[in-house]
Amino acid sequence: MTTPIQLVAVANRGEIASRVFATCRRLGIETMAVFSDADADLPFVADADYAARLPGSIPSETYLQGERIVRLVRASGGQAVHPGYGFLSESADFARAVLDGQLVWIGPPPEAIEAMGSKVRSKELMRAAGVPTLEAPAEPTESDLPLLVKASAGGGGRGMRVVRRLDDLGSEVAAAEAEARSAFGDGTVFVEPYVESGRHVEVQVLFDTYGSGVALGDRDCSLQRRHQKVMEEAPAPGLSDEVRAGMHQAAVEAGRAVGYAGAGTVEFLYDPATGRFWFLEMNTRLQVEHPVTECVIGLDLVALQIGVAEGRTLAELLPDGVPAPSGHAVEVRLYAEDPAADWQPTAGRLARFDVPADTSFDLLARHGIRVDAGYASGDVVGTHYDAMLAKVISWGPDRGSALRSLRGALRRARLHGIATNRDLLIAALGDRDTLAGTMTTSTLEHRLAKEFADLAPAGDPDFAPFVAAIALAARDTEQRTVQRGVPTGWRNVVSQPHRTTFLVSGRDEPVVAEWYGDRDGFRSAGEEDLHVIEATPRRVVVERGGFRQSIDVHIDPVTGEVHLDDDSMVRQSLRLLPRFTDPADAVASGSLLAPMPGTVVTVAVEPGDAVAAGDVVLVLEAMKMQHTVTAPHDGTVAEVNVEPGAQVASGEVLAVVATGEPEESP
């Protein structure tokens, strides 16, 4: 018996909430969002028919408050709850609370979530079901290295450590336990062999509530950094028919072993050298990377989830069976993170967000680009949640064309205001291992990210500041109320060039651009072969050595920052420095400034403490990652301006370490 769902609430935020709402609109289902104070102005809130506030900003006060969410949904007349991914999506207790509240749970049974929620218990179940698993040595020796320490609960790389020296095993286990306890409330960890050059391959499964299940294809998620997926594709390249069929069958057996229902993903570690694969875990929810499967099989996975929750059979949902995959799809995750600061998450105002796309949150009608974004131009990216801005998905007739079109879309994207991993993604999509389909879980972490970090900025380092200065001068020309048409900077008698000073991302010292303005326009003060062909506040066209280059410009009206973009140059963000410095902006020598907005987790020192260079002063948490702030030199702690739990802004003075010995008390 089927019960049509009329109103779906999403117990999540951002991109995945908008994704579920899009399917609901197509099905004629009303929608409800829940939102924290930090998210009140994000697009997903406006995407819903109804919205309910979760007071607070941090996850523990908002999206992890399962009972409060259930009460809000019931009070609004909601009928069903979709958990999205992350937060409470794999909480058996939350699933039970939804069901106990007489609501429809768009997910698997709580018992299945519980069984697969413990990686230790799930491995036992998989062994019993005949699914291949990696076996941990009871007493590891040097010959067993490297080893991998993993948290039994949760995922996303939290509570995970690679051990390459046996002497480090104890300390790494302790560190993993502490991180897992903090992230998931469960410090249980286990140890297994670490397959250095393995590939991460996963199988999408779908079960109805009557025991029938099928595999809906596979995906490769091998390009990862810090155990976080960065690129995913479907179908997984380079698998033999035998291996692919074996994985699909093992995935269905895994779901059947726990009485699964709905959409889920079974993850395997695949060794291309031997053709063997082993069960890693089962994600009892919709995956971030589900759009690549949707592209190649032409099915809406969220609609299938809803259909299963309504009581429909697989025969009803898939009357023609599982479609054969068509073409190839690739997805990359666009993160707010700074490559110049060891890839730390970034926060702040997203001045411009423009990625060319054929559709958003929907099946592609033809080969092209799909963008599922959680943010839009002008939105503020906070520090409380994951650093992912969007997923960019390409679907093409074959793997090569899908990679190429995705790379082209990223090159044409205009992302201004905060640092992102966009250029690393472009490099990864054109990498030799990616193109050959031979990438492994270590490719990005061990080679690509390091090669990318070592790259020098392309071209003349003074070129970007010159272009930014000309764009600002063009803006001033447009805004002036007298001498219209005369470029800013024009003088009857020229004695010296104009000087515009910037702070440039990735450079320690300010950079000065020198230029002239006259009746014919703008020109460089130092490079005779550099000609300004056109200048507006939005675009500057220059010619050098006979080659013409057009640079998109975005001058942020809120911050005044200048952002430059074209399809070939390294993207630049520049901050105009005032001609005269406000004394109030000066900070004491030895000041430790917050590298990003965040929450103070621990403070390890007190005023008067003696510290050595590199000693931990405090720990910040931002976007689910912890960042250690250390002493810049030997000295004495002169000030500590924060305490645990405090929210700090980027650039805020956290503490001051003075040089010299502590003074004796009288």
* Cα–Cα–Cα angle for 383, 388, 394, rounded to 5 degrees: 165
pLDDT of residue 526: 83
> In CATH, what is the architecture of 583-658?
Beta Barrel (2.40)
Residue 510 has pLDDT above 50, yes or no: yes
Q: How far is the C-alpha of 575 from the C-alpha of 588, rounded, in Å?
A: 22
Q: How far is the C-alpha of 9 from the C-alpha of 26, rounded, in Å?
A: 15
CATH number of 7-106: 3.40.50.20
Give mean pLDDT, residues 92-113.
Answer: 98
Catalytic entry in 13, 19, 225, 285: 285
Percent of the chain scored above 90 by pLDDT?
A: 58
Q: Determine the topology of domain 327-455 in CATH.
A: D-amino Acid Aminotransferase; Chain A, domain 1 (3.30.470)
For residues 298 and 137, which has the higher predicted lDDT (pLDDT)?
298
Q: Which two tokens stand for residue 518?
A: 């006259």
Give mean pLDDT, residues 7-35.
Answer: 98
Structure confidence at residue 625 as a pLDDT band (50, 70, 90):
low
Q: How far is the C-alpha of 309 from the C-alpha of 440, rounded, in Å?
A: 36
> In CATH, what is the architecture of 142-193?
2-Layer Sandwich (3.30)
Burial label, 88 (beta-carbon count in 10 A; 0-12, 13-18, 19+): buried
Q: Which residues contact 446 (CB under 8 A, 6 or more apart)?
A: none
Q: Which two tokens stand for residue 520?
A: 């014919």
Q: Is 121 noted as a catalytic residue in this protein?
A: no
Pick the range with the lowest mean pLDDT from 135-149, 246-260, 609-623: 135-149
pLDDT of residue 488: 63
Q: How far is the C-alpha of 523 from the C-alpha of 530, rounded, in Å?
A: 7
* Cα–Cα–Cα angle for 102, 104, 107, rounded to 5 degrees: 135
Task: Give the SS3 label for residue 385.
Answer: coil
pLDDT of residue 666: 45
Tell me how far apart the terminal alpha carbons of the chain are, to the nearest angstrom: 84
The CATH 3.40.50.20 portion of the chain extends over: 7-106
The CATH 3.30.1490.20 portion of the chain extends over: 142-193
Most confident range (mean pLDDT) of 106-120, 204-218, 462-476, 580-594 is 204-218
Cα 438 → chain centroid: 24
- CATH number for 463-576 (one of 3.40.50, 3.30.700, 3.15.10, 2.40.50): it is 3.30.700
pLDDT of residue 231: 95
pLDDT in tens, 31-62: 999 999 999 999 999 999 999 999 999 999 99
Q: How far is the C-alpha of 584 from the C-alpha of 69, rounded, in Å?
A: 45
Q: Which two tokens stand for residue 74?
A: 């019931």
Question: How does DSSP classify residue 491?
Answer: -
pLDDT of residue 29: 98
Q: How far is the C-alpha of 13 from the C-alpha of 36, rounded, in Å?
A: 9
For residues 650 and 447, which has the higher predicted lDDT (pLDDT)?
447
Q: Which two tokens stand for residue 3?
A: 């019960």
How far is CA 377 from each of CA 43, 132, 349, rounded to the nearest angstrom?
10, 47, 9
| Cα atoms in the Cβ-side hemisphere of radius 13 Å centred on 246 | 16
Residue 548 has pLDDT above 70, yes or no: yes
**β-bridge mates for residue 138, sequence order:** none
Pick the range with the lowest mean pLDDT from 472-476, 487-491, 544-548: 487-491
Report the predicted TM-score, pTM, of the whole model to 2 decimal places: 0.82
Pair type for strands 7-10 and 30-36: parallel
Give mean pLDDT, residues 634-645.
Answer: 90
Residue 456 has pLDDT above 50, yes or no: no
Q: Which residues contact 527 (CB under 8 A, 6 or more apart)?
A: 544
Q: Which two tokens stand for residue 340?
A: 């110049």
pLDDT in tens, 135-167: 777 778 887 788 888 777 666 566 678 888 888
pLDDT in tens, 390-445: 999 999 999 999 999 999 999 999 999 888 999 889 989 999 999 999 888 888 87
Q: Which two tokens stand for residue 152?
A: 């039994």
> In CATH, what is the architecture of 196-324?
2-Layer Sandwich (3.30)
The CATH 3.30.470.20 portion of the chain extends over: 196-324, 327-455
Number of CB atoms found within 10 A of residue 150's CB: 26
Task: Give the SS3 label for residue 299.
Answer: coil
